[in-house]
Structure 1
Amino acid sequence: MSVITKKALAASLKEMMGRLSLDKITVKDLVADCGVNRQTFYYHFQDIYDLLDWIYKREALDSISNCRTYDTWQQGFLKIFQYVLDNKKFCLSTYRSMGREHLDLFLHQAVFELLMAVIEEVSADMQVRMEDKNFIANFYTYAFIGIMLEWIRNDMSEDPEFIIERLSVLIEGDMEKAINKYAMS
């Protein structure tokens, strides 16, 4: 029953964010829209931002779980773009509100985990310190997030497939080179 309640609260928040800024939505408004009481909300979530995090993790992170290999990372990135595009009003409302940090954290977690899995795969037969792997993953994570945030800022007008294609051409072979530079003999 609790997953059903969480999903109902998530659906209400997403619907409300389609017409209101996240900063204007209160727990009182949300529970009235959803038809549950405040106590039920606080049983599941600390605040609206906790619900926002839950939505991003549940809906988007799960969709890229099978795209964390060297051969599939582009599909994982494309799924992240597609999620944002499919949930445009919701993501734009987050982006343009005090909840922006939650969007940034979601993007960082999604991209970092995807890239770290690729780095682990590529460096499987090498000795590379974990801190170096983290550094490489963070470097590429921030580059990708910068591209994505610019895309969001520009109202998501460019085709995500074109962006991923350009990104793929740009960094082809670079991750392996970076890992080789940090590999210990």
Structure 2
Amino acid sequence: MTQKTKEAMAASLKERLRKTTLQNITVKDIVKDCEVNRQTFYYHFQDSFALLEWIFETEGTKAISTNKTYDTWEQGFLRVFQYVEQNKMLVHNAYHSMGREHVERYLYSVVYRLLINVINEQAKGMNVPEDDKGFIADFYKYAFVGIMLEWIHQGMKERPEDIVDRLSKLITGAIHRALLKYEQ
């Protein structure tokens, strides 16, 4: 029942975010939609921001779950773009409200996990300190998410496939070259 309750609250928040910004949605609205009491909501989430973060984290993990290798990172990143595009109003209303930091935190988290897996795969057999691998992942994470945030800010007009293709051309081989520079 717990997972179903969380999913029902998530569905309520997502539906409401298709129409309005996060600061206009109350816990009272969500629990009314789900026919549960406020105590049930607070048992699972601290506030509506925590629920939003749970939505992004749960769905984002699903979006890249099988695409975290060097050969599949493009597909994983494309899936993140497609998730954002498919949930355009939800992301737009969360991004343009006080929930912006949750959108950004979600993107940073998902993209970092994708990149660190690629970096660890590429670093096999190399002697690269973990903090340097993390630094490389952070560098690319900020670049990738920056591109995505700008895409969101500009109304998501460019096709995700075109963006990922351009990124692929730019960074093919770059992670391996970076690892070579940090190898001890």
Q: CA deviation at 1:63?
A: 2.1
Deviation string 1:127-185 (CA, Å, 9 cap, x unpaired) is 0011100110000000000100010011111000000000000111111100000001x
> What residue is the counterpart of 1:105 in the other structure?
105
Deviates more, 1:55-64 or 1:75-84: 55-64
Task: Specify the SS of the correspondent of 1:98.
Answer: coil
Deviation string 1:69-96 (CA, Å, 9 cap, x unpaired) is 0000000000000000011111111110
Is 1:156 aligned to residue 178 of structure 2? no
Moved over 2 A (4+): none
Residue identity (%): 54
> What residue is the counterpart of 1:80 in the other structure?
80
Mapped to 2, the partners of 1:79 and 1:63 lie a distance apart of 6
> What residue is the counterpart of 1:179 in the other structure?
179
Is 1:54 aligned to residue 54 of structure 2? yes
Deviates more, 1:59-68 or 1:164-173: 59-68
CA root-mean-square deviation: 0.7
In structure 1, list runs of 5 or more residues that go unmatched.
Answer: none
> What residue is the counterpart of 2:3 in the other structure?
3
Mapped to 2, the partners of 1:19 and 1:98 lie a distance apart of 15
| TM-score (norm. length: structure 2) | 0.98
> What residue is the counterpart of 1:169 in the other structure?
169
Whichever residue aligns with residue 91 of structure 1, its letter is V
Mapped to 1, the partners of 2:67 and 2:118 lie a distance apart of 9
> What residue is the counterpart of 1:14 in the other structure?
14
Q: CA deviation at 1:33?
A: 2.2
Mapped to 2, the partners of 1:133 and 1:170 lie a distance apart of 19
Number of aligned residue pairs: 184
Q: CA deviation at 1:44?
A: 1.0
Deviates more, 1:74-83 or 1:23-32: 23-32
Task: Specify the SS of the correspondent of 1:162.
Answer: helix
Mapped to 2, the partners of 1:99 and 1:2 lie a distance apart of 24
| TM-score (norm. length: structure 1) | 0.97
> What residue is the counterpart of 1:90 in the other structure?
90
In structure 2, list runs of 5 or more residues that go unmatched.
Answer: none
Task: Specify the SS of the correspondent of 1:138.
Answer: helix
Question: Mapping of 1:126-145 within 5 angstroms?
Answer: 126-145=126-145
